[in-house]
Amino acid sequence: MDLEGIEAFFTRGLSPLISTIIISAIIALSLPLFLHFYLYRSRTTTTVPSFLLLGPSGAGKTSLLTLLDRGNPTPTHTSQTPSTITCALPPTHRAASARFRSSHDPTSNAPQRFHLTDTPGHGKLRHFSLDALAQLPTALKGLIFVIDSAALAAPSAGAAAGGDVGGVGAAAAVAGGEGRGGGGGGASTSSSLTEAAEYLHDVLLVLQRRHTSAKTSRGPAALPVLIAANKVDLFTALPASLVKVALEREITRVRETRGKGLLDSGVDMGGEGQSEEEERDWLGGGEGDFRLEMMEECDVFVKVVSGCVLGTEGEKEDVEEWWEWIAENM
């Protein structure tokens, strides 16, 4: 095409002809629709979000897995290996990633699915969960740490012999010990509380190391943690506020015990060069009692929410707040 042809083409395109007006109107109307279809709808599901179930053995992780999958909990046995299923959010909840989608968008009516991985809670099998945390896939949106809130209040053998029996006495002991320091208080600690605190300590420490060992100033993406206080329907169960206090106080004891072990090891090895390693193995920042809010400095946001997977005496299960947390982090 010569210069005269090009000049004639542009002259015709800018002239007020009916054909030019029709073509311009078609382009103006179809271009936004094309961009919406290509950039908006075609990228609705790039990766399926996933969540990791953690917690001591017997806390109700597998029962929660079947409840979220089938709508009803089923009889379970102690898990020996990890298992992953695909769940869908109930219609009453909406994923945060789809919050700004139009209700007329066809993709908003599609089931909002996520992967849920259950890990064994036995002490000898927890390497499965810790290995999964070390890898930390990009699709992982949060951790669900399930604990038995009724077992946390159960007294040890010495406390039971002394008459401290039942959730009321244990709850009073926890409430009375708040603010007295990690090592204070004469209340006996249940073995279930110690086990849960040690496991949670290890999980949070892995997440803290993930943040402190980042090679860039930006750091890894924030990772929320839900402490699902299960079996709240039982009389001996602690409420979420006291579960938080009990875990923080027991983690303080665990941290001090392990910190003392590191110091003793450092003395035996000469002490020099051990400060950096000790700092990496010290959960939370600074001295004093441990608080779950300390983990926010590592972009780990911990929330304690009560619920129950198995209803008792005609009561139904109550996991609505857990569903809400999952939806908020999808």
The per-residue pLDDT for 106 is 60
Cα dihedral 302, 240, 244, 159, rounded to 10, equals -150
Residue with tokens 């030019």: 20
For the ranges 127-141, 219-233, 250-264, the maximum mean pLDDT occurs at 219-233
- Cβ contacts of 108 within 8 Å, gap of 6 or more: 98, 101, 102
Q: Give the DSSP letter of residue 181.
A: -
Distance CA 133, CA 145 (A): 13
The per-residue pLDDT for 184 is 41
The per-residue pLDDT for 100 is 64
Q: Residue 273 pLDDT > 70, yes or no?
A: no
Query: Could you say which of 3.40.50.300, 3.30.360.10, 3.40.630.10, 3.60.15.10 is the CATH number of the domain covering 48-328?
Result: 3.40.50.300
Amino acid at 71: G
Q: 289 or 282: whose pLDDT is higher?
A: 289
The per-residue pLDDT for 126 is 84
Distance CA 113, CA 139 (A): 13
Distance CA 270, CA 268 (A): 6
Distance CA 121, CA 55 (A): 6
The per-residue pLDDT for 186 is 40
Distance CA 70, CA 64 (A): 10
CB of 201 closer than 8 Å to CB of 254: yes
Q: Residue 5 pLDDT > 80, yes or no?
A: no
CB of 303 closer than 8 Å to CB of 225: yes
Q: pLDDT class for 143, splitting at 50, 70, 90?
A: very high
Q: How many residues are given for the chain?
A: 330
Q: Residue 159 pLDDT > 80, yes or no?
A: no
Q: pLDDT class for 46, splitting at 50, 70, 90?
A: low
Distance CA 230, CA 309 (A): 7
- Domain limits of the chain? 1-43, 48-328
Strands 113-118 and 50-54 come out as: parallel
Return the number of other C-beta atoms located less than 10 Å from residue 189's C-beta. Answer: 18
Quote the tokens at residue 34.
């094309």
- Is residue 201 packed enough to be buried (19+ CB in 10 Å), middle (13-18) or exposed (0-12)? buried
Judged by average pLDDT, the poorest of 85-89, 187-191, 218-222, 257-261 is: 187-191
Q: Per residue in 163-195, pLDDT tens? A: 444 444 545 455 555 444 444 444 456 789 999
Strands 223-230 and 140-148 come out as: parallel
Instruction: Render 279-295 in DSSP notation, one character per residue.
Output: HHTS-SSSSS---GGGG
Predicted TM-score (pTM) of the model is: 0.73
Q: Residue 99 pLDDT > 80, yes or no?
A: no
Amino acid at 129: S
Q: Residue 44 pLDDT > 60, yes or no?
A: no
Mean pLDDT of the chain, nearest integer: 78
Q: 216 or 147: whose pLDDT is higher?
A: 147
Q: Per residue in 102-140, pLDDT tens? A: 666 666 667 788 999 999 888 888 888 888 887 777 788
